Structure 1
Amino acid sequence: MSKRNMEEKRMKKFKFIHKRSLTAFVLSTAMVLGVTGCGKDGGVQGNGDKDGNTPEYVYVAEYLDVQGMDDVVNMKEADGTLHMLTVEYGESEMSYKLCTLNLEDSSTTETDLESAAGGYFTSTFFNADGSLEVIESKEDYDDDWNLLSRSLYFNKYSADGSLISSEDVMEKLQFEEDFYVSHFIRDAEGNYLIGSWDSPLMVYSQDLVKTGEIANANAQIDGLCITESGKIVASWWGNMGGVEVALVDVTGQKLGTTIETKKQSGSATVWAGSGDTILYMNGSELYSCDVVTGEIKVIMNTMDMDVNADYIQSIYPLSDGCYLMTCYDYSSDNSGMGMLIAKPVDPSTVAERIELTLATVYANQDVNDAVIEFNRNNDEYRIKVIDYATDDYDWNAAVTNLQNDIVAGNVPDMIDLSSLNMPWRNWAAKGILTDLYPLMEADGEFDKEELLQNVRTAYEEEGSLYILPSTIMIDGVMVKEKFVNGVSSLTPSVLMEMEKTLPADANLFYYNYQDEVMYNMVYENMNAYVDYEKGECYFNTDEFKAVLAYAKEQPAEFVYEEGVSLPGLLKEDKVLFYNINISQMPDYQFHKFVFGEDIAFLGYGGSDNDGIRIVTSGCALSITEQCEHKDVAWQFLKTFVSEEYQTREYLWGIPTTQTGLDNFIYEAQHMEDTHGYGWDDVNIDITSATDEEVDEFLAILEKADEVNYQDTAIMEIIEEEVAPYFEGQKSADEVADIIQSRVDIYLKENL
């Protein structure tokens, strides 16, 4: 083949097609961020206000056709051209391409990149002119996947994709053979910063001579990026749970002043913004942070343009004020990579629709997907998600804010009660939530009998159903049958009696320390101490004081022992009980194997049944009485109990409809492949479930007919008051009386 023909083969054309423009927005400034124009100051900025005035601009998503791309590794805009490094995954190898898109005339090119060693790119960096620098790893393994040898190559490519140079740099960079390059950036002076997730940043000259190291005293550096202005920024998870960033001083070989971002979810990844800014997602909101001034701004909420932030992999600001986003949808069989441009448009071009609000705390991915699907296919109504999640990741504060809004009369149309640690029983009793049974009857297409009987029993309140769960888990305790001795549920008194008969080298639970004892004997048994229907509590009792005394005898903290196998302890009768949530049939099969003999599945007592409970694993939605379009809201809720949803391959747990459960069992008994399960030193391949295993599983599921509701407010009261007792500062009588008084006041104020 001639050189010309080879070049023609490499320089293939591909198309970026604007497939559709999703311009469905409700012009509520409190919910949709407007922009004043396109600029280079960290993105287009919002100018709407809380009084509901119409914003000057809103964002819409224009999708690009990216067929043939499996992933976008890196990108850079240079002189009006977008340069992208993409990868396609084959059965045994990966192929890399350099793609360009002219932002002025939409012309495109695609060039196959020549691999220097036939390996894979561990880290890449685009220069300002669109040229590319790459660290390529080549590894050789034996038949058992033991590493035999490893080489690292430093490759340089021109902006047109030609390989300029390649050098084996493993020895030159002074790396150990198992060193993995995750950070790789070059500053304006030509210095290279190279690092791994578990190492300091190493500084090299442009000739790859090591000149020093930059360490973060607080945490390992998780990411690096370089701003448009050339400033290098390091990011990591801070000790308080949020992502922190700092400028990297290459000359002084140190980090600058730490900036606390508002990022509390996802990874610690940040992207280069315009000027001195960085970009990052926090939930569904896109933020910019000026790394010089520390100013933080919200740019947009991606849900407002019907884009699920869970799928966003990278964001790049374009010079015209738009944002290019790469996304990957893992949620279905049609999963794949996608690209879109978030573009500001005049609000007058957007059709106005009736808005229904959906309140949530840390939005569920499936809920966001369903909201987007609803909004894309409805010309008259639109659902707006209001996430009460707080910047400091305080769950209780978020629920309190939602509760305060409801008390103030700002009641949403729907509420996502996924945690069920919200005071939903109280809301139902006060007439805030709508009984869903009449909506089912009026629907005509969904019969309430389709819901599993135990699910209806668990979620009903006096014959009414206020919550519709999509999927569930079974919450209980596994124990060998020989230890049960007629016990049907684990009440505090039962646990205390069993403790007395244990051998000296055995424990009821593996995590046998003070907080865990309180969790198992009190928090899991809250029904023994609180009667929500009567509004009464029973903490100043001899039984509760006995639990306190037993808990005090245990270690204050769990002492981890190296090399100890929990499965081994269960099998050898050194630990009797194992708390478990079962979400799939293989969960049950595997843990039954771990115990090694016949098992019983028990629940925590304090109620009229065996105490085996339901934990909501997917979403749990309700409709409020204030909703003026309950029939529309029901159509949205019905999505989660539809045959399509309940029988799909990827679910967050056990289906809640009979159709879904039948399919769930069928799939469990007709597995095409084995599934490897491992826990410490136990590894097995799970195969199709037997009839016996199915019968055992269904018997447990049928008994799970109450919701595992843990009142976090009461738990916090107990945790706060028992601390002085454990430290010897107060007696059990004093602590029990204080808890009794405080919980009694709480119940009177909230029920």
Structure 2
Amino acid sequence: MKKYYIEIGICFLLIFLLIGCNKKEQYDDHTIVLGVLSGGGQSIEEAVATYNHSQNNYQVVIKNYGDKDDALDKMIMDIMTNSTPDIIFLNTLPLEQYVEKGLLEELTPYFEKDPECSVNDLIPNVYETMKVNNDLYFTSPGFAVFTIGAGKNLTKNATGYTIPEFKELLDSQQNKDIQPFYSQYKGHLLTTLCCYNLGDYVDWNTGSCSFDGEQFRTILQICNEWGETNLTDYETEEPELVSSGKELFVLTEVDLQNMEYNREMFRDEINYIGYPCDDRDGTYMKFNTMLGMNAKSKKKEGAWSFMRMFMTKDFQQNNIFCDWPSRTDCYEEKIAESIADTPEYKQDVDELKKIISRTHKRDRSEDTLMNDIIWDEAEKYFQGKKNLDETVQIIQKRCETYINEHR
């Protein structure tokens, strides 16, 4: 009889544990859940504190999924099966994948109804760059622009390069004591040449990719021919390498301070040619604090009340320090303030505006899992363990499988 009661007790304990483990977190109607990976950072925590202090109807709580290997899968599972998190911190997440799965709310109607925030307030090409499949799925108060600069004595009047053209230019310098970029580590070269333009090789709509094409093959060849196997510290600083003509290209963020710094390094008229890519248009926009709304959220009005805060003039005037504001009025104000503080910047304003206005590609480097696949196989090629044909075929197959498993 004693054994019988013990068995019954164990059964009840297991049932209790199963119920407890499957119990979902409960939030009241006035709590908005913001889902983040790796904490989200200090700026998002400060924004949440500011919002909560000013609100009576809603309060935002951060749900941190952490940074373990299964964190992304847990977040996706929550979004697909639950109405929370209501808001998703999209930085470092594969945006196109989320859009393809129908996980994100289209935000244009919210802007149209908002008395203070309109898409017409945004810098036109910034607004267009934020879109995915011609729809808007995230808000962002600021952005940075990344490109590559080089002296005009090298690039002449070129406005950009394809990958094969870039290789041809490097090959023409083969017998000179030069290096393409400051870091010659093969891993860094690979990141430079394919990180931002990963979207050129992937189509989430069709589930296809083209890592076995000539362009990606050429990238691997460039890295192998010009790169170093080991990551080392360099004795010579970058300004000296650039001014001496040994370093040909500089990776740069487009702002007035950097543009002045680049002029001093090159001692030559600078040509901002962008990263080499298929259409020779390799300048990329990276957005900060990208917030998307869960399409299944039951508190969309509350979610928007938090998201819209980042798009107001007051917020962007007082919180965007390192990047450029996404609103036209705040963007123009920041340029004017920069010139007032440092008059020397004025000579670069026209070029800066030109670069930013023609940028229409979003940084696509957020898919860390795909980046890991590429590096995992490319490293074997760099180490001589696999030939080029084997490498691109394996990368193609693994990435194709990954895309179709996650689209």
How much has 1:626 moved relative to structure 2? 1.5
The yes-or-no answer on 1:724 pairing with 2:380 is yes
The yes-or-no answer on 1:517 pairing with 2:189 is yes
Which residue of 42, 52, 63 corresponds with 1:365? 42
The structure with more helix, counted as a fraction of residues: 2
How far apart, in 1, do the equivalents of 2:372 and 2:215 lie?
Answer: 20
How much has 1:694 moved relative to structure 2? 1.0
Partner-residue secondary structure (3-state), 2:343: coil
Partner residue in 2 for 1:536: 208
* C-alpha contact 1:492 1:522 (8 A) present in aligned 2: no
The yes-or-no answer on 1:592 pairing with 2:247 is no
Indicate the percent of aligned positions where both proteins have the same amino acid. Answer: 23
Partner-residue secondary structure (3-state), 1:455: helix
Partner residue in 1 for 2:240: 568
Which residue of 399, 406, 420 corresponds with 2:72? 399
How far apart, in 2, do the equivalents of 1:707 and 1:471 lie?
Answer: 13
How much has 1:445 moved relative to structure 2? 2.1
* C-alpha contact 1:488 1:602 (8 A) present in aligned 2: yes
The yes-or-no answer on 1:636 pairing with 2:306 is yes
Partner residue in 2 for 1:80: none
* C-alpha contact 2:260 2:345 (8 A) present in aligned 1: no
Partner amino acid, structure 1, of 2:63: I
The yes-or-no answer on 1:653 pairing with 2:331 is no
Which residue of 328, 343, 357 corresponds with 1:688? 343
Flag the 1:505–1:585 CA change in 2: closer, same or farther, 3 A.
same
How much has 1:748 moved relative to structure 2? 1.5
* C-alpha contact 2:87 2:291 (8 A) present in aligned 1: yes
How far apart, in 1, do the equivalents of 2:194 and 2:279 lie?
Answer: 17
Q: Map residues 544-563 of structure 1 onto 2, 5 A cutoff.
A: 544-553=216-225, 554-562=227-235
The yes-or-no answer on 1:619 pairing with 2:286 is no
Partner residue in 1 for 2:30: 354
How much has 1:355 moved relative to structure 2? 1.2
Partner amino acid, structure 2, of 1:549: Q
Partner residue in 1 for 2:393: 737
* C-alpha contact 2:123 2:328 (8 A) present in aligned 1: yes
How far apart, in 2, do the equivalents of 1:561 and 1:446 lie?
Answer: 48
Paired residues in the alignment total 384
* C-alpha contact 1:513 1:555 (8 A) present in aligned 2: yes
Partner residue in 2 for 1:78: none
Partner-residue secondary structure (3-state), 1:380: coil
How far apart, in 1, do the equivalents of 2:118 and 2:200 lie?
Answer: 35
Flag the 1:497–1:630 CA change in 2: closer, same or farther, 3 A.
same
How much has 1:633 moved relative to structure 2? 1.8
The yes-or-no answer on 1:415 pairing with 2:88 is yes
* C-alpha contact 2:199 2:364 (8 A) present in aligned 1: no
Partner-residue secondary structure (3-state), 2:85: coil
Partner residue in 2 for 1:698: 353
Flag the 1:669–1:471 CA change in 2: closer, same or farther, 3 A.
same
How much has 1:695 moved relative to structure 2? 0.8
* C-alpha contact 1:436 1:465 (8 A) present in aligned 2: yes
How far apart, in 1, do the equivalents of 2:131 and 2:214 lie?
Answer: 33
Partner residue in 2 for 1:709: 364
How much has 1:609 moved relative to structure 2? 6.3
TM-score (normalizing by structure 1): 0.48
How much has 1:714 moved relative to structure 2? 1.7
Partner amino acid, structure 2, of 1:658: T
Partner residue in 1 for 2:95: 424
Which sections of structure 1, spanning at least 5 residues, go unmatched? 1-47, 55-351, 672-686
TM-score (normalizing by structure 2): 0.86
How far apart, in 1, do the equivalents of 2:383 and 2:126 lie?
Answer: 43
Flag the 1:735–1:694 CA change in 2: closer, same or farther, 3 A.
same
How far apart, in 2, do the equivalents of 1:53 and 1:516 lie?
Answer: 42
How far apart, in 1, do the equivalents of 2:162 and 2:60 lie?
Answer: 44
Flag the 1:407–1:490 CA change in 2: closer, same or farther, 3 A.
farther
The yes-or-no answer on 1:465 pairing with 2:132 is no
How far apart, in 2, do the equivalents of 1:534 and 1:483 lie?
Answer: 40
Flag the 1:607–1:623 CA change in 2: closer, same or farther, 3 A.
farther
* C-alpha contact 1:471 1:651 (8 A) present in aligned 2: no
Partner amino acid, structure 1, of 2:76: Q
Partner amino acid, structure 2, of 1:449: N
Which sections of structure 2, spanning at least 5 residues, go unmatched? 1-19
Q: Map residues 115-514 of structure 1 onto 2, 5 A cutoff.
A: 354-361=30-37, 362-390=39-67, 394=68, 397-409=70-82, 411-417=84-90, 419=91, 421-502=92-173, 503-514=175-186
Partner residue in 1 for 2:198: 526
Flag the 1:689–1:703 CA change in 2: closer, same or farther, 3 A.
farther
* C-alpha contact 1:613 1:708 (8 A) present in aligned 2: yes
Q: Which has the larger radius of gyration?
A: 1
How much has 1:651 moved relative to structure 2? 2.0
Partner-residue secondary structure (3-state), 1:489: coil
* C-alpha contact 1:527 1:606 (8 A) present in aligned 2: no
Flag the 1:447–1:545 CA change in 2: closer, same or farther, 3 A.
closer
How much has 1:422 moved relative to structure 2? 1.0
How far apart, in 2, do the equivalents of 1:378 and 1:718 lie?
Answer: 46
Partner-residue secondary structure (3-state), 1:464: coil
Taking only aligned residues, the RMSD between alpha carbons, in angstroms, comes to 2.6
* C-alpha contact 1:528 1:605 (8 A) present in aligned 2: no
* C-alpha contact 2:104 2:292 (8 A) present in aligned 1: yes
Partner amino acid, structure 2, of 1:730: K
How much has 1:498 moved relative to structure 2? 1.2
Flag the 1:405–1:489 CA change in 2: closer, same or farther, 3 A.
farther
Partner amino acid, structure 1, of 2:53: R
* C-alpha contact 2:140 2:291 (8 A) present in aligned 1: yes
Partner amino acid, structure 2, of 1:429: E
Partner amino acid, structure 2, of 1:450: D
* C-alpha contact 2:186 2:224 (8 A) present in aligned 1: yes
Q: Return the structure number with greater relative CO, CA threshold 8 A, min gap 6.
A: 2
Flag the 1:462–1:544 CA change in 2: closer, same or farther, 3 A.
closer
